[in-house]
């Protein structure tokens, strides 16, 4: 890992890294916040960590600079991890033509269709490479990991947590894409990355994955916050479908709907304290 920059932050340290990814086949960037040295010592040398997956058009810096999460994480003795949202430098024709597909829009899955399949392997990158790398190189407790995200990243958090049981002990999302097989964002991304087989699409749909659960995967509860003034709510996000799937699976879900709030980081920063507290409580158990 190459340390690109380091900044003192709420008694801890905010770092930005780059490394050569073998899963992606390109350099990848990510950011990490570590709480203070006394917090790490008090935790026995390894602290719980939260993985945050950002949304469309974002990168590894967006969450760390806009969400106001470090102060909250420092208070609870938590580390924060924010990967990038797609490969960079693949130079695929058309990669930058759309804001909702290609660059900064990797959807946290492994593409199967050319030309995307070679580099767009975000699921394998996160689960098989980045998390093992960070939990071995930094003072992070791999037994106490949580995951959350926003919009496309909320989709990623929900699906990765459901597809990889036991890896994450806590789960939440802010304005997530809850049923990508039933919205234009998902149809565009899944059609391009995965082809026309909708059975394969369902393997990356949080509502479909939850509905297929034999028992509640997170008996302590899942937290979702959704702004009711979010312009993407009616046609893209469909939290009611995930709510119905949770009911079918017996999964406790706190779905909070907030009048007046939109889709952006003013909304995210407003409700960040509840998400950090949700994870801190689960990861302290």
Catalytically active residues, by annotation:
151, 230, 263
How far, in Å, CA of 3 to CA of 246, rounded? Answer: 41
> Are 18 and 110 a contacting pair, CB within 8 Å?
no
The closest of 99, 285, 67 to 189, measured between CA atoms, is: 99
The closest of 22, 271, 4 to 32, measured between CA atoms, is: 4
- What does residue 151 show for φ and ψ, rounded to 5 degrees? 60, -115
Q: Structure tokens of 147? A: 């995951």
CA angle 169, 171, 175 (to 5 degrees): 170
Element (H, E) at 66: helix 62-66
How far, in Å, CA of 181 to CA of 241, rounded? Answer: 11
């Amino acid at each position: 890992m190459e340390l690109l920059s380091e900044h003192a932050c709420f008694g801890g340290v905010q770092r930005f890294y780059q490394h050569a990814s073998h899963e992606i086949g390109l350099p990848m960037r990510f950011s990490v916040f570590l709480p203070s040295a006394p917090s790490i010592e008090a935790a026995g040398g390894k602290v719980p960590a939260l993985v945050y997956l950002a949304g469309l058009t974002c990168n590894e810096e967006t969450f760390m600079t806009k969400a106001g999460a470090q102060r909250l994480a420092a208070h609870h003795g938590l580390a924060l991890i924010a990967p990038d949202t797609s490969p960079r430098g693949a130079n695929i024709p058309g990669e930058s033509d759309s804001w909702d597909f290609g660059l900064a829009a990797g959807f946290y899955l492994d593409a199967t269709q050319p030309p995307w399949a070679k580099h767009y392997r975000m699921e394998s990158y996160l689960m098989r490479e980045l998390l093992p790398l960070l939990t071995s190189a930094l003072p992070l407790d791999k037994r106490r990991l949580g995951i959350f995200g926003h919009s496309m990243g909320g989709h990623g958090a929900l699906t990765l947590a459901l597809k990889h049981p036991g890896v994450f002990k806590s789960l939440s999302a802010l304005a997530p894409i809850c049923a990508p097989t039933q919205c234009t964002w998902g149809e565009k991304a899944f059609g391009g990355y995965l082809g026309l087989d909708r059975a394969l699409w369902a393997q990356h749909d949080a509502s479909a994955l939850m509905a297929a659960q034999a028992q509640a995967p997170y008996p302590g509860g899942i937290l979702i916050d959704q702004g009711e003034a979010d312009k993407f709510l009616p046609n893209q996000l469909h939290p009611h479908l995930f709510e119905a799937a949770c009911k079918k699976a017996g999964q406790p879900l706190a779905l909070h709907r907030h009048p007046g709030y939109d889709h952006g980081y003013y909304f995210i920063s407003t409700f960040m304290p509840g998400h950090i507290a949700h994870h801190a409580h689960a990861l302290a158990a």
